[in-house]
Structure 1
Amino acid sequence: MTTRPTIVLVRGDITEQHADVLVNAANSSLLGGGGVDGAIHRRGGPEILSACRDLRASHYGKGLPTGQAVATTAGRLHARHVVHTVGPVWSPTQDRSALLASCYEESLRVAAELGARTVAFPALSTGVYGWPLDDGARIAVRSVRAAARPPVTEVRFVLFDEEAYARFDEALAA
């Protein structure tokens, strides 16, 4: 039996976290954007964009598919790697929850392959992609509990505001 990692909630800015892996809520282009993606690219510096361009020129010419994850350098961030994952846009008519779960699962798989012990996640898809926060929190916590594997010992959800923190706290307690 493997030990589950500790799940920690932090209110703050993911770009200020010290962790082996910071997870980026990327868009499929991998070339930066708004929200968490833009903040990670700005704070991490040109090394991240350069690594993402290399990925686009090689394996991901059409972009990173939704639900998948890929690692790059962390540039100037306080991390060894950034794992980029593309969350689904929420739809009221189509269940895309498996794609959202896959973002967490694939990010943890990549982090474990990199030897990461600490992984920091934002609340994927709950910003401009419109995923309802309570459901996004439930899927995030459930997915991390099911998918985390050694050597990962701590998963940190870095939540930008009080509402997100409260929804993740409720999901963690459930």
Structure 2
Amino acid sequence: MNILHIDSCALGDSSASRQYTAAIVSQLTIADPQANLLYRDLAAAPLSHASGPLLQVLSERWDASIPMSTELSAEALQSASLLQEFHDADLVVIGAPMHNYSVPSTLKAWLDRLLELTALKACKEDNANKRVILVTSSCTFVGNTPMESLMDHHETLLKAAFTSLGVTRQHVLRNNTDLSQPLEFKAAA
């Protein structure tokens, strides 16, 4: 099994989402010692946000009369590498805390690249059996009042993004999930 582990919270080791993703990945690698693990910390090594020229390159709408800079070429290669990491993974574990009512911008930058490249390629079918575990944390809004439901929508954004990528097997674990209890993703591992 190939596991892609993504963390995005800028708070470092004190982050609840990082602690949860680490615990989940630990359980998965204990259950499958042969698992290959690739770790990407989007807070420690943030991606640039998608510029107009980068989006043109990724969507294959680049005007060949405009010279390709070294930086832009490197960004395009990195984007292709990110997409390959995602496609090679059987399971993706993502720490996705809520920052200012949405996902961290570093996670959004990663998703932007995947979504743009996947929209071009007929590779959504390849993701049908991929599993994504979204570890979300939002300590501020945990109730069910109308105002709280408006503010805590980052899970909906993430589910929509991964559904768009063709991933139908999604599990959401919140920061209050007891990881010592049997979890449904373990049975599916």
Output the TM-score relative to the length of structure 2: 0.37
Q: Relative contact order: is structure 1 or structure 2 higher (C-alpha 8 Å, sep ≥ 6)? A: 1
**More helix per residue:** 2
Output the TM-score relative to the length of structure 1: 0.39
